[in-house]
Amino acid sequence: MCSRGSAARAQQCCAPTKELEPRLGRCVARWRWIDRAAARNDTITRPMRIVEKAQLMSAEEIDRTLQRLAHEIVEKSGGTKHLALIGIVRRGVPLAQRIAQAMRGIDGVDVPVGILDITLYRDDLSKVAPQAVLRSSDIPFGVDDMDLVMVDDVLYTGRTIRAGMNGLFDLGRPKRVSLCVLVDRGHREMPIEARYIGRKVQTSDTEIIEVRLQEIDKEERVVLVDRVE
């Protein structure tokens, strides 16, 4: 009798030999019970995979977008006085550093950049992994009365940003906190919106936006991928 073990054992049990043919129907039923989502029309499908659907931004478009965002932040902040950027680990960090570099060309001022790891502030920490992977935060300036701009690559449910705000307010009381993202893909679960947005993209629940940066991924582009069976 086919057990409720791994898919490999179920598949082996259901091998179409003459000896096992009378039990094949029962084994298939067991397989569908194990992975109901993987079976369609009484056939076993391959595991879900990721396919690239489109390139949303090239390296040049990313650079132009960050230059525009730098100008918007400086303009809406009334200059760079008391202004600081907070990059959210991981890809928010190089994005914040690039925006600060662009601001240097606007005002001739070095806008400070902090690094914030939000791992311990996540509301799904217990579900992420048995042991959370911690990366160091580094905010070498006081946040009290500062105009802080949190920077991240993609805004989705808003839960990452909520965790980031909890982390910031553990450090002090900023004058203002705003959000800058390269891509806003919608599907919010928190009352959180970005003030500075590089690009808005409508996505489905199965689609994923991947921001790939030279500093981390050794390539430079933004792509839309989809989970398919």
CA dihedral of residues 126, 205, 213, 116 (deg, nearest 10): -40
pLDDT digits (tens, 9 = 90+) for 16-75: 433 343 433 333 333 333 333 333 344 444 567 889 999 999 999 999 999 999 999 999
Phi, psi of 48 (to 5 degrees): -60, 140
Whether this model's pTM surpasses 0.85: no
pLDDT digits (tens, 9 = 90+) for 67-117: 999 999 999 999 999 999 999 999 999 999 999 999 999 989 999 999 999
Nearest to 194 by CA among 206, 185, 203, 202: 185
pLDDT digits (tens, 9 = 90+) for 136-192: 789 999 999 999 999 999 999 999 999 999 999 999 999 999 999 999 999 999 999
